């Protein structure tokens, strides 16, 4: 578990050293969704997953079915149709996820163009975490890392202005399209 570095200092001529206890085959992945609805409070829904991978065995990331489960939980929690704006991660492009979206009318998936992380609001969440609670910390074990991640994400969850700032950083805007056509009288 190598620490993320934000800023550090040392005496002139001395290189600062961050000590880490060692490497392990454990890994923590996080999937997150920034949820926006015109006229409603912005929300962050996330799911961390701890992987205990041994050399050559097991999966060390989210599968498309894990993302599907997250989207289903978000749909139940928000009680609203969902429009996903996804980057080109291979599990986002999986055939199973595409088939699932095609069979459910409450789910619409929009793919971002390649190499455009500046259009993804979730990248702002990761930036907030890296510059905040994860900066300059050498984690003692995976529990310490997971507690710090959850605490940082919970802090962001309770601050809708931070989530709105992530959308504003993309320069994208929300427009409300009525779901039923109006009848002119």
Say if residue 22's pLDDT is above 50: yes
Closest CA to 134 of 123, 122, 126: 126
Q: Label residue 23 by pLDDT band (50, 70, 90).
A: low
Which tens digit of pLDDT belongs to each residue from 29-55? 889 999 998 888 999 999 988 776 556
Q: How does residue 72 score in pLDDT terms, banded at 50, 70 and 90?
A: very high
Kindly state the average pLDDT of the residues 91-108: 91
Determine the CATH number of domain 26-52+59-169: 3.30.420.10
Query: Rounded mean pLDDT of 111-116?
Result: 86
Question: What pLDDT does 56 receive?
Answer: 60
Where is 161: in which H helix or E strand?
Answer: helix 160-170
pTM of the model: 0.74
What mean pLDDT do residues 75-93 have? 88
pLDDT at 62: 85
- In this prediction, residue 182 has a pLDDT band, given cuts at 50, 70 and 90, of very low
Residue ranges per structural domain of the chain: 26-52+59-169
- Asked if 165 and 42 count as a contact pair (C-beta separation under 8 A), the reply is no
Residue predicted with more confidence, 20 or 36: 36
Residue 51 tokens read as 């992987």
Distances (CA, A) of 76 to 82, 121, 138, 176: 10, 22, 37, 21
For the cut 60, the answer to whether the pLDDT of residue 124 exceeds it is: yes
Taking all residues of the chain, what is their mean pLDDT, rounded to a whole number? 82
* Cβ–Cβ < 8 Å for 34, 122: yes
């Amino acid at each position: 578990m190598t620490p993320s570095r934000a800023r550090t200092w040392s005496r002139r001529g001395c290189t600062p050293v961050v000590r880490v206890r060692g490497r392990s085959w454990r890994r923590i992945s996080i999937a997150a969704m920034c949820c926006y609805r015109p006229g409603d409070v912005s929300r962050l829904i996330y799911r961390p997953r701890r992987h205990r991978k041994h050399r050559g065995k097991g999966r060390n990331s989210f599968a498309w079915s894990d993302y599907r489960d997250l989207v289903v939980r978000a749909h139940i929690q928000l009680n609203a149709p969902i429009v996903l704006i996804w980057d080109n991660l291979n599990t986002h492009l999986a055939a199973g996820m595409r088939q699932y979206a095609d069979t459910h009318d409450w789910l619409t998936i929009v793919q971002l163009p390649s190499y455009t992380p500046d259009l993804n609001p979730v990248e702002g969440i990761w930036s907030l975490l890296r510059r905040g609670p994860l900066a300059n910390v050498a984690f003692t074990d995976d529990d310490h890392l997971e507690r710090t991640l959850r605490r940082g994400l919970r802090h962001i969850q309770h601050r809708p202005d931070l989530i709105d700032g992530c959308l504003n950083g993309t320069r994208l805007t929300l427009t409300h399209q009525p779901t039923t056509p109006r009848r002119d009288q």
